[in-house]
Amino acid sequence: METKNILIENAVIVADRIKKGSLLIENDKIVEINDKIVANNVDDVINAEKKVLIPGLVNTHTHLSMSLMRGLADDLPLDTWLNDHIWPVEANLNGEHCYAGALLACAEMIKSGTTCFNDMYFFMDSVAKAADEAGIRGMLSHGMIDLGDEDKRKAEFKETKRIIEKCHDTADGRIKVSFGPHSPYTCSEELLEGVRKEADKYGLKIHIHASETQKEVEDVLEAHRKRPFEYLDEIGLLGEDVLAAHAVWLSDNEMEIIKERGVKLSHNPSSNMKLASGISPVSKLLEKGICVSLGTDGAASNNSLDLFEEMKTAALLQKVHTLDPTVLNAHEVFEMATINGAAALGLENGIGTIEVGKKADIVLVDMKTPSLTPFRNPVSHLVYSANGADVDTVICNGEMLMKNRELQTIDEASVISLAEEASQDLLSKS
């Protein structure tokens, strides 16, 4: 994509300290942050008066194409939701469905300030195509499930390698690929051990669901006589390159294993609440120095991909769970959605904070709204008062993805129409 030199003036910049100033983007990077900047050869000047400038938000656990299943099976426990509703529909998925669903999700994420996501699903080359067109940054993994079937296991590795070869490090470096073993209860020990071996060989990350429900813990205990993270540690899967989603039902020993192995976590509070899966002990995990990031999960189990809403939910849920209003304060939860998310994906040197030399993944939030007035405490407002509809401008990799609430890289009306048709087609086959 063509990038331009962009000067943003008069913004309230949320960086290592909060200050009013200007920021200059050249190509895909932030090159200067100052009180005032005089720049030549600027293609676009944005007056960000009354706007807050923040890093693009990082959503570390998604299933983008499940946006087509939004509202399909609400108010059900995870086991019933998956087995009786979601998996039967997914059996009829094709690449066109996944492209349309991913494009819809990209539009929703851009409009709510997310510039980077971590996705696990199917037909991931179609998801990569959508993300490339939208201009967003993403890490993709094919969801590997073998249920102990050797032929299925071989097919999962074949598909994963196809996606690696076709999609890794594409779209000007915005698209990366990782290994995506679904979970300890849907993947055989042989598959999980194979993932560790292949991830080491390719130097790629691992994205897995773990300890989401009490039933999962009971099933893994019955099958392996160990809790999920104990089992994953015993077979050698865990390491600093692993991002585990959910981590709701954790023993003290598992928390120590997670810390010792440097495992990164993605907290998905809305999905966990909606499926009544439980509450992850996030404040405890952060106290131990564990990297906890924030994810929405798919739009079928959350119904929204808005990370602003997720920030508020995460903070409030920890407070009411611990009966302590001081835990998970606004700054901590803001970091979960930005630099912790970047670190969880191994991208902290490039994104996640506003710094000279980092990639220009930037969001402007409009503070001239009744719900964000009086303008007093930017981070508090962002976490407790703002929502995705307050996002005005989104830049990723130096490319303008949204300006004045208007998508720039994809046509919103066309995307909505395409997704409606794809969803109807998918459900008609189920």
**For residue 430, what pLDDT is reported?**
79
Sign of CA dihedral 419, 424, 425, 427: positive
Which helix H or strand E contains 264, and what residues bound it? strand 264-267
| Residue 420 assigned to a binding site | no
Pairing of strands 362-366, 292-294: unpaired
As a whole number of angstroms, the distance between CA 226 and CA 352 comes to 35
Residue 279: the pLDDT is 98
Instruction: Give dist(CA 70, CA 422) in Å, integer.
Output: 13
Specify the pLDDT at position 392: 98
State yes or no: 209 annotated in a binding site.
yes
90 is in an annotated binding site: yes
| Per-residue pLDDT in tens (0 to 9) along the chain, 430 residues | 566 899 999 999 999 999 999 999 999 999 999 999 998 889 999 999 999 999 999 999 999 999 999 999 899 988 898 899 999 999 999 999 999 999 999 999 999 999 999 999 999 999 999 999 999 999 999 999 999 999 999 999 999 999 999 999 999 999 999 999 999 999 999 999 999 999 999 999 999 999 999 999 999 999 999 999 999 999 999 999 999 999 999 999 999 999 999 999 999 999 999 999 999 999 999 999 999 999 999 999 999 999 999 999 999 999 999 999 999 999 999 999 999 999 999 999 999 999 999 999 999 999 999 999 999 899 999 999 999 999 999 999 999 999 999 999 999 999 999 999 999 999 998 7
Closest CA to 279 of 256, 246, 310: 246
Nearest CA to 58 among 342, 347, 401, 395?
A: 342
Model pTM score: 0.97
Q: Is 297 annotated as a binding residue?
A: yes
Q: Judge whether 84 is annotated as a binding position.
A: no
Cis peptide before 325 (omega within 30 of 0): no
Query: Is 193 marked as a binding-site residue?
Result: no
Check whether 182 is labelled as a binding-site residue.
yes
Type of residue at 45: V
Q: Which domains does the chain have, with CATH numbers?
A: 5-55+358-412 (2.30.40.10), 57-345 (3.20.20.140)
424: phi then psi, degrees, rounded to nearest 5: -65, -40
Position 2 scores a pLDDT of 65
> Cα dist. 136→41, 139, 247, 275, 408 in Å?
25, 10, 27, 29, 12
